[in-house]
Amino acid sequence: LIVCGASQPDIAKVAECGTEDGPGLQALCLRRHRQELSKPCVAELFRREQETAGDIRLNQPLVEACKEEIDSMCKGLDFGEGAVLKCLWQRSKFRTTSHFSEECRRQVRSATHRSTADYRLNYRVKSFCSQDIDTFCAEEKALVGTTPDSELVDEASGTPNSGVVLHCLKAHFAELAQKPCKDAMSHVMQVHSASWVA
């Protein structure tokens, strides 16, 4: 488990992740078991997730599951800046879209949820809203910045500080100065309000 520095206690806790051999599968397995991992391992996973947030090509399970959908519905888009994930989400949220496999839909839902749980995992918000974050949400940013990453995994884990910057930006939406930031936050709000029908 190179991702976590080959920590023996972490390896023992999540032995099943050691058997994952596809690109990106080991890290996904570790993230599923993050509550069982040491704080340094969780922090390293989160750091790497931030680094790869803008390009879905670094999420091999999603790319494998959505090859046809990317080629048919998001062809020609630049893979950076979260554009392809946004495209896939917009097209997959409707159950009437017959060209989406259930596995692709599941992968897109999971990746989109992650990217809208913490601003640091959303390339567009992190890049395009930095000025507005400093203007309106400096206190929330400081709170997130002083809390260890291992304690700010995501809202689903029950940790309350993870989404405070996004909540602050939503509260100040009408005042956001940058159009790219407003566009990025519009997408976040759409995802937060979407109702996924199983």
Give the tens place of pLDDT for each residue, 101-137. Answer: 889 999 999 889 888 988 999 999 999 999 999 999 9
Residues 6+ apart with CB under 8 A from 168: 133, 136, 137, 140
pLDDT(7) > 80? no
Confirm if 132 and 169 have CB atoms less than 8 A apart.
yes
pLDDT(185) > 70? yes
Mean pLDDT of the residues in the chain: 81
**133-147 core/surface letters (b: 16 or more CB in 10 A; e: else):** beebbeebbebbeee
Per the model's pLDDT, the better-predicted residue between 46 and 166 turns out to be 166
Cα separation, 99 vs 45, whole angstroms: 33
